[in-house]
Amino acid sequence: MPFSYNGDLMLLSAAVIIFGAFATLVMTADMHRRRVGGHHVRLLAASLCFGLSATAMQFIGIFAIKLPVRVSYDPEMAALAAVLPIAGGLIAFALGGSRKPGPAWLPISVVSLGVSLAGMHYVAMESISGALTPKYSPLGIALTALIAIQAAFITLWLVFRDRGVAQTLASAGAIGALIFIIHCAAMETTVFNVSGSLAGFAVPAISETVLSWAVAAGAYIFCSICLITFTIVQFGS
């Protein structure tokens, strides 16, 4: 079944992940050069900012899909999709931000983060319930995983390198674009099949546009709180 996108919501999803990437980069600034207080708290905050903004981007991207019928979403699968990038980011950032990272930290971190990002997309897609069922091609899954692994490598390289203000801003845009591309590439190899009758199907009470802005606001507020708290602590010390 053919589908298209709401362009405004797609732009919103890209903006959310770029802002989340910026918050992540700020949280991890000078991790290796300066061992300031609250090191582990910063890594946790960075993981949460990254994971929550990636999840927000993913679901806003799904809400942006224009389908000929209304669909609903499984909250348990949606919650699992949110956990994956947070867990993957936490493992990757913990290994990369340790005081003496071992030689295997990069491949382990890249695989952890890449698999979690690719998995986030497909688990989120499986949260769609109703008369339509998403179907994926093996080639599309492999391509998505490959892009996610490459995106994870570049993300970790940018997160743990020395950066100035301009480089941080540019890196946020680059990371956001890479994570956004994972979603777009996966959707290009996805088709929707009619899985049953519309009879008795409950139409969601809240529109996808309202849901998208609510998700974006939640991610923005959380990342903003982390940034403000980090700034206060840094200037206070």
- To the nearest 5 percent, what fractions of the chain are helix, strand and coil? 70, 10, 25
Specify the DSSP element, H or E, that contains 4. Answer: strand 4-5
Give the model's pLDDT for residue 18.
97
**Is the pLDDT reported for residue 36 higher than 80?**
no
Q: Which helix (H) or strand (E) holds 192?
A: strand 190-194
- Average pLDDT of the chain to the nearest whole number: 86
CB atoms within 10 A of CB 153: 18
| Mean local confidence (pLDDT), 173-185 | 92
Encode pLDDT of 83-132 as tens digits. 999 999 999 988 877 766 667 888 899 999 999 999 999 999 998 877 77
pLDDT of residue 56: 95
pLDDT in tens, 181-209: 999 988 888 888 876 655 444 455 568 88
**pLDDT tens readout for residues 47-71:** 999 999 999 999 999 899 887 777 7
Q: Is the pLDDT of residue 26 over 70?
A: yes
Average pLDDT on 6-35 reads 87
- With residue 162 as reference, give the H or E element that holds it: none
